[in-house]
A and B are shown apart, each in its own frame.
Chain A
Amino acid sequence: MSEALCVRGLSKSFGRPVIAGLDLSIAPGEFYALLGPNGAGKTTTLRMIAGLMRPDAGSVSVFGRDVLANPLGAKAIMAWLPDEPLLYDRLSPMEYLEFVAGLWRVEPALAKSRAEELLETLGLWAHRFERCEGFSRGMKQKTVLAGALIHEPRFLLLDEPFTGLDAASARLVKEILQARAQAGAAVILTTHILDVAERLATRIGIISGGRLLAEGDLAALQRQAGVAHGSLEDVFLQLTAA
C-alpha cells in the first residue's frame, strides 16, 4: 500500500527561506504531530500539502496522488482544518455542512445523515439551525471539524484543532480523530499543547527554521535530543534551543 503522505525536498521562500528541503512520510492509520516554535513553518507546510500554496521546489503526494500535478484528485481525499475556523457566519451548521458536502460531491442523502450524526456527536444538535455568527470559538471550531469529517477524508490536515475547545469537547475530538486513524485515515496535526501531541501521536516531528530537526516516537526523540527520560517538553526545548 502506498504512503499516506510523501513529501520530498519541499521548499518555500517568502524573501527568506521558510521551508528548506523538508522530507516527510506518513503511513495510513498514523497520527503524526508536527511541532515547532512560532514561525517554524508548520502552517506553511500544511498549506502546501493541502494544495493551497505552491512550493518553490519539491513534491507532495497523498495516497499516491500528486498534489501539484493532480490537485483536485488529491483534495478529494483530504480535509484541511486551519487555525482560524473557515465558516460563513450567516449560515447555520446544517447549511454549512450541506455546502461542504456539496463541494466534496457527497451523495445528498448520505451527507445529510452524516451531518446529523456529526452535529449530534459534537454537541451542536440544539444549535443546528442557528446562524454561526453568534457561536463561541469552540462551537465554531466544532462546526468546522464536522465539515472536515463529512466527506470521510483519508487524510486529515489539522492546524491547531483544539483551540477554543473545552475539556469535554477536546476529549471528544481526540476520540473522533483516533477512531479515524484506526479506520485507516492518516492524520497530521500541529499543536502547541505538547501533552496532546505526546498522548495522541504515534510519531512526532519537530521543525524549526523550515527544517525537520527530529522525528519519531518519544523514545526516539529523547535519544536524538540527548535527554534521557525527559518529557516531550524537555525534548522540544532542547532541540529548538539550538
Chain B
Amino acid sequence: MFKPAGFPWLFLNEARVLWRGSILVRTHKYVLAPVIIVGLMFQGIALALAAQIVRHPLPLGQMVLVADLNLFFFFWLMLSRAMTAAIDVLYGRGDVDFLLASPIPPGRVLAVRMLGVAGSVAAPWVLLGGVLANALAVFGQAWALAIYPMLLAEAVVVAALAFALVVLLVGWTGPKLARRAGHMLALVMGVFIFALGQAPRFLPPAALGHFWLALLPAGDAPGLQYVFAKGLLGQPWPLAFSLVFSGTVFLFAWVMLDARFASGTITAAAYRPGGSAARQGGAFRAGPFAAVLMKNLRLLTRFPGVVTQTVYRSLTLVPVVMILTGRLRTGSGVEIVAPLLVFLTGQLALFFISVMVGSDESPELAASAPVAPGFLRRAALVAAGYATLVLMALPVTGVLARDGVLLPSLLLGMAGVLVSNLALGLRLPIPLVRADFGKAQTGTVLGLILGVGVSSVWSLAVWLLVTPRALWWLLPG
C-alpha cells in the first residue's frame, strides 16, 4: 500500500504493533464484542446528554472553564500513559537497535514512535469524547467536532513532552523508576479527579462557590491562557493556533532528541546493573520450600509494577470510602472499613498470585528438579498469601485497636477472599501492565472481572455481618 521504508509505511507498522500490543487485543480474542456494545450504549447516553446540553446552553465563560478543565485532566492522564508507552517503545520492545541498524533514517523512526504514542494515548479519550461530540453535531452543534483535532494536537504535545521526560528520567534513575513515575502520576490524578467530583459532599457550598468563581474567566474569556479551551470549543483561530503550537512543540522535542536517538545514547541509558550486595550476603536457605519461597518473594518485590499496582489498589478505596461515607447511613467509621479491607485483601491476593504466575521465567528449571509437580504451585500460593497478609497486617491492627468486636468477621472475610482469589488467580491470572521489559504479557481480563466479583461478594458478606441493618438498605422498597 505504501512505499517500503517510507514514513507512512513505518507508521502503519508502528500502529499495527501498538494495536496488537494493546490490552484489548492481548487479553482476549472476543473482548472487542463487549467493547463495541458498550461503545454503542455510550453513544445512546451521549445523545440524551447532548439533547440536554442543547436545551440548556451555558454562558461562554462557563463553557471555557469546562473546556479548560477537560484539557487539563486529559493532559495529565495522557502524560502518565504516554510516559509508560514511551518507555515501552524506547526500551521495552527491544527493536530500536534493529531499526537503528537498518538504512531507515533514525529521525524517521523516532518521529514515528512519538506519533504512534500520541495516537495510542489519544485514542481512548477521542473515542470517549467523540461520542458526545458526534451527538452534539447531530443536534446542529458542529463546533463540538473540534474535539478530534484538539485532542490529537494535545496528544502530540503530550507525547513530545513524555519522550523528553522519559529520556531525562531514564538517564537519571533507570527505566523502572521512570515507569513508576508515570504510573504514580496516573494514580494521583485519578484520585484527585474523583475527589474533586466528590467535593460537594465534603466542602461547604460557599467555599466551593468561591473556588469555582476564582477559576471562571471574565466576560468572553479574553487572554491567551484560554486559547486552547476556545480551540476545543471550535473557534477557528484558537483551533488553528493550537494545531500550530502542537506541531511546533513536537518538532522542538524531535529535534532535541533526534541526535541522541541516532547515536544510541538514549537506548544505552537503560543498561545498568541492578542489585546490591547489602542484602545478599547471608546464609542460603535450607530445603526446597524455603528456597522457592524466597525466590518467589524476591521476584514479587522486584516486579516492576508492584509498588504502583499496590498503591493503586489501595487508592481505589478512597473513592469508595467517599461514596459510602457521603451516602450511606447504614454504617460508618470502622464498620465501613472492614468490608473495604476484605475487598483490598482479595485484590492484592489476586495481583500477587498473578505476578507469581506471570513472572516465572524458567518453569522448566523447576520441572527438571527433584520436586513434586504441585510443589511450585503451593510455593507460589504461600508467597502471594504471605505478601498479602504482611501488607494487610497494619490496617487489621488498626481495626483491632478501634473495635475488636469486628475482628472475627474481618478475619473470616479476609481468609475467605484470600483463598478464593488465590485459587482463581492461579487458574486465571489477571493481565499485568508488563511482566518485565521484553517479556510477554500474561493473564486474562476474565480473571480480573471474576476477581473483582469474588472480592465484592466477600466484602458484601462481611458488610452484612458487621452491619446487619445494611440488608434493609439493599432490599428494594
Whether, in the assembled complex, A52 has its beta carbon less than 8 Å from a beta carbon of chain B, the answer is yes
B residues less than 8 Å from A76 (CB atoms): 370
Using C-beta atoms within 8 Å of the partner chain, give the interface range for chain A. Answer: 35 or more
Among B272, B365, B437, the residue within 8 A (CB) of A86 is: B365
Assembly CA distance A105 to B370 (angstroms) = 9
Q: Are B274 and A103 in contact (CB-based, < 8 A)?
A: no
Interface string of A64-96 (1 = CB under 8 A from B): 000000001101101110100011111110110
Whether, in the assembled complex, B204 has its beta carbon less than 8 Å from a beta carbon of chain A, the answer is no
Known: A75-B369, A89-B361, A130-B273. Contact between A102 and B280, CB under 8 A? Answer: no
Known: A99-B294, A129-B276. Contact between A72 and B371, CB under 8 A? Answer: yes
Q: Are A115 and B284 in contact (CB-based, < 8 A)?
A: yes
- Residue in A51, A76, A102, A105 whose Cβ sees the most chain B Cβ within 10 Å: A102
Among B273, B276, B295, B436, the residue within 8 A (CB) of A99 is: B295
Assembly CA distance A82 to B364 (angstroms) = 9
Q: Contacting chain A: which of B4-12, B151-159, B208-216, B285-293?
A: B285-293
Known: A91-B298, A99-B292. Contact between A52 and B364, CB under 8 A? Answer: yes
Assembly CA distance A92 to B277 (angstroms) = 10
Q: Are A95 and B298 in contact (CB-based, < 8 A)?
A: yes
A residues less than 8 Å from B289 (CB atoms): 102
Smallest CB–CB gap between B440 and chain A, Å?
A: 13
Assembly CA distance A79 to B365 (angstroms) = 10
Known: A95-B295, A102-B287, A102-B288. Contact between A129 and B275, CB under 8 A? Answer: yes
Using C-beta atoms within 8 Å of the partner chain, give the interface range for chain B. Answer: 35 or more
Known: A82-B364, A86-B365. Contact between A101 and B276, CB under 8 A? Answer: no
Q: Are B299 and A91 in contact (CB-based, < 8 A)?
A: yes
Interface string of B366-386 (1 = CB under 8 A from A): 111111100000000000000
- Residue in B275, B284, B367 whose Cβ sees the most chain A Cβ within 10 Å: B284
Among B280, B367, B372, the residue within 8 A (CB) of A94 is: B280
Known: A52-B367, A103-B288. Contact between A86 and B283, CB under 8 A? Answer: no
Q: Contacting chain B: which of A15-23, A106-114, A175-183?
A: A106-114
A residues less than 8 Å from B371 (CB atoms): 72, 103
Q: Are B272 and A134 in contact (CB-based, < 8 A)?
A: yes
Known: A52-B367, A91-B298, A100-B365. Contact between A108 and B271, CB under 8 A? Answer: no
Assembly CA distance A112 to B281 (angstroms) = 10
Assembly CA distance A11 to B361 (angstroms) = 29
Smallest CB–CB gap between B307 and chain A, Å?
A: 14
B residues less than 8 Å from A89 (CB atoms): 361, 436
Whether, in the assembled complex, B427 has its beta carbon less than 8 Å from a beta carbon of chain A, the answer is no
